[in-house]
Structure 1
Amino acid sequence: MSKQQLSSVKVFSPATVANVACGFDVIGLAMDGTGDEMELRISDQPGVRITAIEGADLPLEAAQNVAGVALMAMLQEYGQPELGIEVSIKKNIQPGSGIGSSAASAAGAVAGANKLLNDHFPPESLIRFAMEGERLACGTPHADNVAPAIMGGFTLVRSYQPLDVIRLHTPEDLWVTVIHPQIEVKTSDARGILKQQVLLRDAIRQWGNVGALVAGLYREDYALISRALEDVIVEPIRSILIPAFHDLKLRCKEAGALGGGISGSGPSVFMLSKGADNANAVAAMMESIYAPLGVDYRIHVSRISTAGVRVID
């Protein structure tokens, strides 16, 4: 095993948008500027200890916390039972927000710990460990949030068995605007209302959109990206959980958005735009729609982060 070079590290772990309309459980993107902050330290006490959590009421017991579970999976594979890691978490992403709260904690934990282990594990392994945190959070070890959180940019999960994650091209002028209504939609509940079978014609349409979205990203063809941002399988069901969803989506496109949809399992809604001006115009439209509703909300305007989890001072 390589010798540890660091005794502590601080990291920023980004919020993420999963599904990206047509890419349910397979496509995700990382945001820039919104995310959790975590500090990890090598400890003389074997195992994983969560010493503090600021900003959310979450369990400190490692086995009941997504960051702790991910780190436990990582240390088990590392194979040094005497090694201990302590972690403190500043939660800037509200749990149940739909922008990857659990993923940020799990991804930040394993990516930060990997720095303490001298980058022993490749990104694919870190994703696999972080997926165990997602399993705890919602019962399903999905990767469409943790993959972009770790790798940055857009990512595509080609396969889960075996895990095969591809980092996609991110057009430089692509921005994301997210509105987070201050209501909670649990991922487990949002999954529970989904149909277990879909019509073949809907599946074919969805596959076409996924392929077109990937092609649009690589070609930097914003019109094609716009046409591809269509979800005919999940959005029609989950949209009933989000206030003013259809009006929001329609009027944001009128304001200049390429398109968008539900971020993760909701309640956040994302819109992609070409350029900062359009992204900010979309934010203003979101505010004009939600301000009269009496629902508290937060709006994020962000570039797509190509860095993923990163070390901070």
Structure 2
Amino acid sequence: MKKTIRAFAPATVANVSCGFDILGFAIDELGDQVEVSLSETPGLKVVKIEGDGGRLPYEAEKNTCTVAIQAMLDHLGFTKGMEISLYKGLPLGSGMGSSAASAAAALVAANALLGYPFDKKQLVNFAIEAERIACGAAHADNVAPSLLGGFVLIRDYEPLDVIKLPVPKGLYCTLLHPHLELNTSDSRSVLRTQISLKDSTIQSGNIAGLIAGLFQEDYNLISRSLKDVIAEPTRALLIPGFYELREAIQTIGALGSGISGSGPTIFTLSPSQAIAKEVGSAGKEVFKKIGLDVDVYISEVNDRGAYVI
């Protein structure tokens, strides 16, 4: 019998408002599963994909699972074969780290199959190669929290420097996923290529304030810092209902909201589960009025990350 390992990796919220390409956190329950088996035939082969509606590629050089595993195997000098089955639990183009979850689950399964030659932080280096294939940029703000769990800061990329941050107790996230698809490449194309010194200063202060708020478990500081003056002003124009939702939750007690990754999913952080549920109800009403179906997910921040099932 073939030795087989199956792993799960969670959905993620990247950017977290002010932390464009450098901050992200993981979500509970939502995610992808990947099964990896050793094979007598050299090379990597995708043998099954479920839950994607037939849209994801089986070619090893195009699939995020195999691209990530191949990067790891090249580093090890491993030449034997593997077969990969992907079970999608995340919608494509949702802004919830769909490609990252696939890559993270694949790496955790393959790493376990080979006897754990790498820890999960080391696996981030291989996972970002899959992101390069998926969206044209080797960013780690989805793959790092999907692998490690919790809040993660990407301090630098050359070399990659990943720092796991504390998660305040009782912090909840509401994700509202309107039924429309927004490709990361399209969302990145509307970004400004230059920003003013003023905006850079404001954004730096908000990033520092958000990280300080996480360490101090200061919800008021977190709330004041959840502001993005660089990416959100242009990306929000691509997401119907974004500003209407923000207005609707002002009096509920949520800490703040923003675009999850490149969108169209919108995230809101709340200091309790009850407030997070109120946000979800308000969001349903907003999207109902503009004629869009919406999925609502309520979750604590997942501090575990990807794991072998």
C-alpha displacement at 1:283, in angstroms? 0.6
1:122 aligns with 2:139: no
How do residues 120-199 of structure 1 correspond to structure 2 at under 5 angstroms? 120-199=117-196
1:25 aligns with 2:21: yes
- C-alpha distance in structure 1 between counterparts of 2:5 and 2:290, whole Å: 43
1:235 aligns with 2:232: yes
1:10 aligns with 2:6: yes
- C-alpha distance in structure 1 between counterparts of 2:12 and 2:78, whole Å: 32
- C-alpha distance in structure 2 between counterparts of 1:85 and 1:69, whole Å: 12
C-alpha displacement at 1:95, in angstroms? 1.0
- Which whole-Å deviations, capped at 9, do the CAs of 1:20-46 have from their partners, x for residues lacking one? 000000000000011111211111122
TM-score of the superposed pair, with normalisation by structure 2: 0.97
Unaligned stretches of 5+ residues in structure 2: none
- Which whole-Å deviations, capped at 9, do the CAs of 1:50-95 have from their partners, x for residues lacking one? 11110112111111111111111111111121x2221111111111
- 2:269 is aligned with what amino acid? L
TM-score of the superposed pair, with normalisation by structure 1: 0.96
C-alpha displacement at 1:99, in angstroms? 0.4
Identity of aligned residues (%): 48
C-alpha displacement at 1:174, in angstroms? 0.5
- Determine the structure 2 residue equivalent to 1:205: 202
Moved over 4 A (4+): none
1:273 aligns with 2:270: yes
2:287–2:294 CA contact under 8 A, matched in 1: yes
Of 76, 101, 105, the match for 1:104: 101
* SS of equivalent residue, structure 1 residue 120: coil
2:121–2:147 CA contact under 8 A, matched in 1: no
- 1:29 is aligned with what amino acid? F
- C-alpha distance in structure 2 between counterparts of 1:168 and 1:144, whole Å: 13
- C-alpha distance in structure 1 between counterparts of 2:253 and 2:82, whole Å: 47
C-alpha displacement at 1:190, in angstroms? 0.7
- 1:80 is aligned with what amino acid? F
- C-alpha distance in structure 1 between counterparts of 2:51 and 2:251, whole Å: 36
- C-alpha distance in structure 2 between counterparts of 1:122 and 1:46, whole Å: 25
Of 50, 55, 77, the match for 1:54: 50
Query: What is the RMSD of the two structures over their aligned residues, measured on CA atoms?
Result: 1.1
- Determine the structure 1 residue equivalent to 2:61: 63
- 1:228 is aligned with what amino acid? S
Unaligned stretches of 5+ residues in structure 1: 1-5
